[in-house]
């Protein structure tokens, strides 16, 4: 290791190493070096990481660390650090801890006084944001949405009301259902979808939410793979409209919510006031959550 990266006298270091999300060439040279030098690699899936190491011509001791055994593994890894061993933490793809395990280990290692250092590299969220063409000065990282339809739509109501760009991860099982929900809740909302970033069948969509289902259906292969959905922020509402909302429309919505189920109250309020359904929905959720 370089001098400034040498082992601290207090023990080993925990390296949090980002690995490729598709293309192996995206692995940083420094990540490769650290992986070749550590005493142990804690990996979400040891077979998966074993294959990555083999492709790099490396062989290191591996220890599994995934969401079901992380709590139990923390003590074992802290012992290794106490013995002065260096440990790398990797997930199956991208940056560990970003919708991936590792938080408990990182926190415990920091609390125990060990150095915890990142090896920066790929993350699907940032890669998708960087090409989305949507404002990126501020953004909200949502990760995975709830799996069940009702819970997902409810969460989307909240996300669509946010004044910043929102990044969601989605799997092939639910991407079409998500596109349908978005078309129903906010058909005009700008969004970007990144599919299979840095892989052979990489594709990107940019347009209105209402057009995404048709884009996906144009080629059934588009429903395969891994996805990041980047939602544009809630459009700016002019101040007059906001003021009108808080006076009459708010009273109306509250009254309807007192007597009717959420969906019916929102639908009726939207019809009476002419306000977009998703905006009424988002406001109703603020009161009912
Ligand atoms: N830690 C990873 C990161 O930094 O991006 C994310 C891990 S999370 C368990 C996996 C999700 O990330 C996938 O379901 C997908 O939403 C997204 N993802 C990962 N690789 C991707 C890729 N090559 N293209 C598009 N999305 C990807």
Q: Any idea what the CATH number is for the domain that residue 148 is in?
A: 3.30.950.10
Task: Among 122, 150, 179, identify where a domain stops.
Answer: 122
Which atom of ligand 1 has the smallest separation from the CA of 199? 23
CA of 252 to the centre of ligand 1 (A): 42
Task: Report the alpha-carbon angle 93-205-172, nearest 5.
Answer: 45
Residues 100 and 23 in one domain: yes
CB 249 less than 6 A from any atom of ligand 1: no
Task: Among 122, 146, 167, identify where a domain stops.
Answer: 122
CA of 150 to the centre of ligand 1 (A): 24
CB 229 less than 6 A from any atom of ligand 1: no
Residues 218 and 156 in one domain: yes
Residues 8 and 109 in one domain: yes
CB 91 less than 6 A from any atom of ligand 1: yes
- Phi and psi at 93, nearest 5°, equal -160, 145
- The chain-wide mean pLDDT, for the chain, equals 92
CA of 197 to the centre of ligand 1 (A): 9
> What pLDDT score does 2 carry?
47
Q: Whose CA is nearest to atom 8 of ligand 1?
A: 99
Residues 7 and 118 in one domain: yes
pTM of the model: 0.83
- What total of structural domains would you count in the chain? 3
Residues 60 and 103 in one domain: yes
Q: Whose CA is nearest to atom 2 of ligand 1?
A: 94
Which atom of ligand 1 has the smallest separation from the CA of 96? 1
CA of 53 to the centre of ligand 1 (A): 20
CB 20 less than 6 A from any atom of ligand 1: no
- Phi and psi at 196, nearest 5°, equal 55, 45
Residues 221 and 139 in one domain: yes
Q: What is the mean pLDDT of residues 115-120?
A: 98
Q: What's the chain's Rg over C-alpha atoms?
A: 23
Residues 174 and 97 in one domain: no
Residues 113 and 147 in one domain: no
CB neighbour list of residue 172: distance below 8 Å, 6 or more residues apart: 223, 224, 225, 226, 227
Give the CA distances from residue 69 to residues 44, 45, 66, 76, in Å, rounded to whole numbers and listed in that order: 10, 12, 6, 11
Per-residue pLDDT for 285 more than 90? no
Tell me the β-bridge partners of 190.
208
CB 98 less than 6 A from any atom of ligand 1: yes
Residues 173 and 117 in one domain: no
The CATH number assigned to the domain holding 38 equals 3.40.1010.10
CA of 225 to the centre of ligand 1 (A): 10
Residues 96 and 70 in one domain: yes
Per-residue pLDDT for 280 more than 90? no
Share of the chain above pLDDT 90, in %: 79
CA of 124 to the centre of ligand 1 (A): 5
Using CA atoms of 64, 65, 66, 72 in order, give the dihedral in degrees to the nearest 10.
Answer: 110
Can you read off the two tokens belonging to residue 267?
């639908």
Q: How many CB atoms lie within 10 A of CB 218?
A: 9
Instruction: pLDDT band for 96, please (50, 70, 90 cuts).
Output: very high
Give the CA distances from residue 154 to residues 37, 144, 267, in Å, rounded to whole numbers and listed in that order: 47, 14, 14
Residues 113 and 152 in one domain: no
Residue range of the domain that includes 166 = 125-231
- 132-166 residue pLDDT tens: 999 999 999 999 999 999 999 999 999 999 999 99
Strand order in the sheet with 40-43: 62-64, 40-43, 87-90, 13-17, 115-119
Task: Among 192, 210, 231, identify where a domain stops.
Answer: 231
> What pLDDT score does 270 carry?
86
278 vs 287: CA distance, rounded Å? 14
Residues 60 and 15 in one domain: yes
CA of 120 to the centre of ligand 1 (A): 16
> What pLDDT score does 240 carry?
54
CA of 141 to the centre of ligand 1 (A): 13
Calculate the CA 48 to chain-centre distance. 21
CB 95 less than 6 A from any atom of ligand 1: yes
Which atom of ligand 1 has the smallest separation from the CA of 95? 4
User: Is-contact 89 49, C-beta < 8 A?
Assistant: no
Task: Report the alpha-carbon angle 111-114-118, nearest 5.
Answer: 100
The DSSP result for the chain, as a single string, is --GGGSPBTTB-EEEEE-B-SS-GGGS-HHHHHHHHH-SEEEESSHHHHHHHHHHTT----EEE--TTTHHHHHHHHHHHHHTT--EEEE-SSBSTTSSSS-HHHHHHHHHTT-EEEEE----HHHHHHHHH-S--SSEEEEEEPPSSHHHHHHHHHHHHT-SSEEEEEE-TTTHHHHHHHHHHH-TT-EEEEEESTTSTT-EEEEEEGGGHHHHHHT-GGGGSS-EEEEEPPPPP--HHHHHHIIIIIHHHHHHHHHHS-HHHHHHHHHHHH---HHHHHHHHHHHH-
């Amino acid at each position: 290791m370089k001098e400034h990266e040498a082992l601290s006298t207090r023990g080993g270091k925990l390296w949090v190493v980002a690995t490729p999300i598709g293309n192996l060439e995206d692995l940083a040279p420094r990540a490769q070096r650290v992986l070749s030098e550590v005493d142990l690699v804690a990996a979400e899936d040891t077979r998966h990481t074993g294959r990555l190491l083999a492709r790099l011509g490396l062989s290191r001791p591996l220890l599994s660390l995934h969401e079901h055994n992380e709590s139990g593994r923390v003590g074992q890894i802290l012992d290794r650090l106490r013995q002065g061993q260096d440990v790398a933490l990797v997930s199956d793809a991208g940056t560990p801890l970003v919708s991936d395990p590792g938080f408990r280990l990182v926190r415990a290692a920091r609390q125990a006084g060990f150095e915890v250092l990142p090896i920066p590299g790929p993350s699907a969220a940032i890669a998708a944001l960087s090409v989305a063409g949507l404002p990126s000065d501020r953004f909200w990282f949502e990760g995975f949405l709830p799996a069940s339809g009702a819970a997902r739509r409810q969460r989307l109501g909240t996300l669509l009301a946010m004044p910043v760009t929102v990044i969601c991860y989605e799997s092939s099982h639910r991407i079409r259902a998500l596109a349908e929900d978005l078309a129903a809740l906010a058909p005009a909302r700008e969004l970007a979808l990144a599919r299979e970033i840095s892989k052979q069948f990489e594709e990107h969509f940019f347009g209105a939410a209402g057009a995404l289902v048709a884009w996906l259906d144009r080629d059934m292969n588009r429903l395969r793979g891994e996805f990041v959905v980047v939602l544009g922020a809630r459009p700016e509402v002019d101040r007059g409209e906001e003021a009108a909302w808080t006076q009459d429309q708010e009273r109306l919505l509250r009254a309807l919510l007192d007597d009717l189920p959420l969906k019916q109250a929102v639908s009726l309020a939207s019809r009476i006031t002419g306000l977009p359904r998703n905006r009424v929905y988002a406001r109703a959720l603020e009161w009912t959550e």
